[in-house]
Chains A and B, each alone.
Chain A
């Protein structure tokens, strides 16, 4: 309706689609005010020490040195192999949507390596996309019709509202999770969400989880995974497991992939046919600029369809070649994954300790590039408005861009996602220091 109204004042202007004028991109939401604040006044240790520190961006910069080191030693990865020209000829023309075989193979074994070899991946089931964003959207296109629903546990990544709904016309129905059990997904919450969708006349096509969870920074327990899979089988719906932070789990043993659950159940067809894993190199390898995502589906029809649809979102052959070289070097990847985990854990420890000194508690996390911070006790009123009021103060006065829980559809006010891996440790210290002072003063005076 709003769309119709918008277009009427200028009847002469040539009309655009509903998608073009839709607000589903969400970039006008208050949440983006934080990003704007950062863009207008970005912190720099030397040139702008009072600027806004970006803690809303889940980017991993803690292991760049390892990547650079690799490229320094392996210039043939960046070029086209030692012979240079032959490799180039094959690559420049390569536009087959199957992707380079070498790269799919390397990707599959990298995914295995991250799961400690507890799951196997078949390169022929790896579908490449330009980033996990595209992978998630593509799966949604394939699994659900316009008007159908996906169930997603809250709090969830704010981008899903845009990525999964915008062009597909699919709806998201939240599975409400609560702090009382550390936001773990329960059977009753699953059923409640499903019934809610059905009562609204929606056809539920699947459950989408992030594991490790974004924004919680915690892995999903094996028991919960079993429950979710059973639920999906019972309702005969799909299960999408977005595991883009699997390699950013601080300790390999703490992460259980849905792939492992499938294998432990003897890879039954009734389980496998509905399970799809999304993965990417943006988080675990810290290469979001390379735009590399994958769909790993156990369902043949989904693999075929996704491959064909991937022609809308292919990865340049040059990038595939470069990454194939990098990921097939097992010595490099083993060292990278191990070191990266250690560094993330160290970062996590630093931020948790710093927040604790300020009297702030976080959900116990074990993965990801962020922590889930509880400022509930500081809220003037325990509502979404109260949360956004406090968040405004933090963005404006403390000049930290963090993500409010309400943007993640968290059902309890007062939670915030704070990213810690996209900056130097020194910057992190500055941020913690600012927050500490703010909280002290806020507690004393009730304002900043």
Chain B
């Protein structure tokens, strides 16, 4: 295990940092060596990527906080326009040092203003001798803002002529960011996924105070054994661990087993965890419902999950409309005559061709069809006469709002609208019953 060493920072702070970021020592030391000393100019922009919950945000935050480096931390999802983003950065910058004076709202329309205001802010706060870090979390959102934002952030140091470093955090690789007309290449840094040993170590670290660390570690071991196959997301695992821990402790609380009796505990918890995997992990039932279920302890009948209520009640004609739409989407138009007319022509096709069609039509997905065809099929599948009243038409639009049908190519209202059926075969089967 490489110990963190850096001449510029006090050893105590480094030690604390090391204890806070387990399994990320190499990344942290790399970052530290890039950052250099406080007053040294650092690399203008750093690009950090890695899979979900690999500790990018957390490492950045703890690093900057424990070493008390001046920084700004913004989430690009939250500040969804460039203007909001820039203003937020300036606001945070202002509030950093000048606690005494109230932060005032500065309007900042574009990047030019930003550069100007940024210079002012940095100059006014005697920060020239320190590197200011701007961390942009979920930086993939930057690509959807104005075209100049991303390249400008990458060379902010050059533009402002100040000691500043921009750190981008994201889940996707740099190649997907690179604009067409080229830009300053940032320093890329990869955060690998945690391994199972890492997960074990991190999860066992924050054990509840009532129980010993070993006991909790054993529990985490069991939990990982069940869930590691399906889920490697640290956050998700943490959530599950918290939810199921009380159940695990139950025999101990009742006095049936002591903390060392792992086998007994394992027997107790295992079916429970399996059930959790089927329900809570998929968010079929919410965690509060799950807790209540644990509280009741007994089995008050299986709690209905979200997917249990798949049945949809539809009015009589809506059902037929939906079925007609499904038929129109998945059958080629030329077979209509054969299916829906009483005196259809001879079926000449060989079996093999038909089979080929049948498999492919579901793989290709629904095809659009005009309104007239839908109505024609409707008339032929409904037994009694249906008048084309306004009610029928309004039902079609209400099906569209329910996202059971979707409109294809709505540019011309006059032209007969074309629809697509978006529901699955199972759904149609349920409706048709």
To the question of whether A and B form a pair in one complex, the answer is no
A→B interface (CB under 8 Å): none
